[in-house]
Structure 1
Amino acid sequence: MGDTTMNERVIAITGGHGELGRAVVAAALDQGLKVAIIDHATDQTAPAGALALGGVDLTDAAAAAEAIATVVETFGQLDALLNIAGGFIWQTVDDDRPAWDRMFALNLTTALNSCRAALPHLKQSDAGRIVNVGANGALKSVSGMGAYAASKSAVHRLTESLAEELKSTPVTVNAVLPSILDTPQNRADMPDADPALWVAPADLASVMLFLASPQARAITGALIPVTGRV
């Protein structure tokens, strides 16, 4: 069984080069965790102490399995998987461009492939953890959000189902449901909004890392809103 001592725990973070991913990586390193970043991007520099695996297409099950295997080969174990990889497209239903397939590939398939690849290793930890990123906006969709909300709702159902399937193991599965993240892109897209009301990536990172910790052993199958003051 893996050691639950914090500085012995190994955490894999998909989408670790994005705005939220970078915040989670930084916070995890500050906590003394051993961190692996799995990302499609290839032109990013990882923080000191982190393993960076770039060019990984997590919509491909074999690529996801290879990346997770590399993490385990490097560190000797895997204790937590944080699925941040994903994307967003605003598109109305009468627009026939392939947003729906793209949203399900980026948001659901990446998480599903990563979970499947990680599960055999997480079951070997005495505190295996999976933390997915859903969306508060998937609880009730609005105009132009159908494809995104549907894909994130699927992540919610994946989280709940997998949590039930794993109740006989030490592995817990939960999801955070953020509202609007305070990122440069969102500030540019919504210049008249007050970003102080949004969710800071560092604050969401704190919630995710708690759910990934041994101390969160009593929480599984939860969909946790993280909505700031919106």
Structure 2
Amino acid sequence: MQGKQVLLTGGTGGLGLGVTPLVVRTGAKVTIPYRTEANVKRLKEVLSGTEFESIRLVQVNLMEESAIAQLIEDMSRVDVLVHLVGGFAMGRVEEYSTDDWHKDFNLNVHTTFLACKYCLQKMRANGYGRIITIGSRGAVQPAGQLGSYCATKAAVVALTKAIAEENKDLDITANSILPSVIDTPTNREAMGEDQADQWVKPQSIGEVVTLLGSEEAREIRGAAIPVYGVM
């Protein structure tokens, strides 16, 4: 990924704080959208001064189509999209609110669609691209009280596979990573720390990201790669 233009969404979140340093250290030119200065502060804490200064940070609401369209338009090209934005919620189907259902799909699926849509326009113009999305183990092994979350992640995986099929005539790939529980501060707070040593480390997902974002991964298309740890 040396010298590649990378759009890394969610780079300041719990997963992103493990993935971003690995992407930056490949020598890629990384653009990271963010929402608040607090997010930027957390990112700064996990990077060296030189690494942090190498990143292009743009304050953007990724839920707004016009905003993400402008973000990508302002990039000279997009060689790699790493889309980490997403959220997790629980609840039984009969008790789950319709508003929360829509919120889950907007955050997990709508942002993926918009990021892929506008990055693909640039990638197809250049004949090159790598798209990496984050699904979930729940996309292929749904669990109780996770109906909405699993449905959104299944949609992300299906969308990614469709993109891979649509672009198989070009050097453009699209693949999903399927983590089990990720060891982030948010998950530790929500689920306790009793089994946290068995959860997937964000850095492990980062290793898969850097592989899929490389030129060497040109033959990997439409894959949904499990990263389950020992769970």
Q: TM-score, normalised by structure 1?
A: 0.90
Corresponding residue for residue 57 of structure 2? 52
Shift of 1:189: 2.5
Corresponding residue for residue 85 of structure 1? 85
Shift of 1:120: 1.9
Q: Is the 8 A contact 1:91 1:99 kept in 2?
A: no
Look up the equivalent residue of 2:58 and give its one-letter code: L
Count of aligned pairs between the two proteins: 220
* Larger helix proportion of the pair: 2
Aligned counterparts of 2:83 and 2:211: Cα–Cα separation in 1:
14
Shift of 1:63: 1.3
Aligned counterparts of 2:173 and 2:96: Cα–Cα separation in 1:
38
Shift of 1:99: 1.6
Correspondences of 1:1-230 after superposition (within 5 Å): 6-45=1-40, 47-54=52-59, 56-70=60-74, 72=75, 76-97=76-97, 98-125=99-126, 127-191=128-192, 193-230=194-231
Shift of 1:12: 0.5
Aligned counterparts of 1:206 and 1:109: Cα–Cα separation in 2:
26
Corresponding residue for residue 47 of structure 2? none
Aligned counterparts of 1:211 and 1:10: Cα–Cα separation in 2:
14
Question: Structure 1 stretches of 5 or more lacking a match?
Answer: 1-5
Deviations 1:126-156 (A, max 9, x none): 5410000000012122221011000110001
Q: Secondary structure at the match of 1:181?
A: coil
Aligned counterparts of 1:39 and 1:148: Cα–Cα separation in 2:
23
Identity percentage of aligned residues: 34
Look up the equivalent residue of 1:29 and give its one-letter code: V
Question: Structure 2 stretches of 5 or more lacking a match?
Answer: 45-51
Q: TM-score, normalised by structure 2?
A: 0.90
Corresponding residue for residue 3 of structure 1? none
Shift of 1:57: 2.2
Aligned Cα root-mean-square deviation (Å): 1.6
Aligned counterparts of 1:111 and 1:182: Cα–Cα separation in 2:
22
Q: Secondary structure at the match of 1:90?
A: coil
